[in-house]
Amino acid sequence: MSDLISCAKCGYCEDQSKIHLHHLVPITLGGTDLHGRRYLCKKCHDILHNMLITRIWKFVPDESKEDGRNSVKSFSLWWIKQ
- Residue 46, domain member (yes or no): yes
What is the pTM for the complete model shown?
0.79
- Residue 3, domain member (yes or no): no
Task: Kindly report, residue by residue over 5-29, the tens digit of the pLDDT.
Answer: 889 999 877 777 789 899 998 888 8
Which pLDDT does position 41 carry in this prediction? 92
Backbone angles phi and psi of 42, in degrees to 5: -55, -45
> What residues make up the domain containing 24?
16-81
Query: What is the helix (H) or strand (E) element at residue 19, kind and residue range?
Result: strand 19-23
Judge whether 71 and 38 are in contact, CB under 8 Å. no
In a 13 Å sphere around the CA of 38, the CA atoms on its Cβ side amount to: 21
- Residue 32, domain member (yes or no): yes
Which pLDDT does position 52 carry in this prediction? 82
| Statement: residue 1 has pLDDT above 90 | no
Query: What is the helix (H) or strand (E) element at residue 81, kind and residue range?
Result: helix 65-81
Tally of domains within the chain: 1
- Residue 77, domain member (yes or no): yes
| Statement: residue 56 has pLDDT above 90 | no
